[in-house]
Amino acid sequence: MKDKIVLITGGSSGIGKALSEVFGKEGARIAITGRNKEKLEEQKNKLHSEGIECLAIQADSSSEDDNYRTVSETINTYGGIDILIANAGISMRAMFEDLDMKVFEKVMNVNLYGPVFLIKAALPYLKKSKGSIIGVSSFNGFKGTPARTAYTASKFALGGFLEALRLELIPKNIHVMTVYPGYTESNIRNTALTAKGEAQGKSPYEEGKMMSSEEVALRIFKATKKKKRELYMGFETKMGRLLNKFFPKLTDKMVYNHMKKEEGSPVK
């Protein structure tokens, strides 16, 4: 990993932040993006203090222009891209019949079109490096859950896009991997959008009991080195995938009941 150039979206918090540290400590040169300038600078300074090269780029991950600018700034600074990690994401929590369609569109823009724009911009450089494209999906990337329609749609679409892209890129020797983390301690549930598009402000779960962002990042790092096609993490993700394959009707009921019991659940 020495001197590899790693571009990570959503790199100022959660899994993205942890990824910048894991790859950086192995000698990679890091570029991180995020919307919060203060948090970006804080993470950049932290990495610099540990002897890790880091470029911090303030950007809106849903913007096509910002994604192309992100790639341009990375190329201008480092001269190439070896590993691209599309990690930035946003969630939502509302029943579909109550959901403002602008919220649905926003979730799709961040979780699907953001990675699509970024990969499109970076592809010429990844062809040169014969690098890796990593997309961070979710349990919702293979199993729908109530009150998460937009989030589920975006993650299913991301997985399908990456699968098709992986096949297209076989002759180019570009590695493509989709990551399916389980429940991970992060800020994504605090910032999940309500039916009207406001941040819900509080997680319905005890975040401290979940898999840590550091553990998720370490597993992604190891899977990237091994050039895996897919990575499933967490008991609920692995078991959910298995149950959904062999007992789909039972799994539907289990997932429905689980989501209904969430604190403040909109599922009735």
Q: Would you please indicate which residues are annotated as catalytic (active-site) residues?
A: 151
- Cα distance between residue 139 and residue 234, in whole Å: 10
- Cα distance between residue 147 and residue 143, in whole Å: 13
Nearest-10 Cα torsion for 66, 67, 70, 74: -160
Assess contact for 7 and 56: CB atoms under 8 A: no
3-state secondary structure of 113: helix
Count of CB atoms within 10 A of residue 262's CB?
Answer: 17
- Tracing tokens 């571009």 back to the chain, one arrives at 7
Tell me the C-alpha to C-alpha distance, in Å, between residue 33 and each of 44, 50, 233.
10, 19, 24
Q: What is the DSSP secondary structure assignment for residue 228, as one 8-state letter?
A: -
Q: HEC profile for 156-186?
A: HHHHHHHHHHHHHCHHHCCEEEEEECCCECC
Assess contact for 98 and 197: CB atoms under 8 A: no
Assess contact for 88 and 140: CB atoms under 8 A: no
Assess contact for 98 and 92: CB atoms under 8 A: no
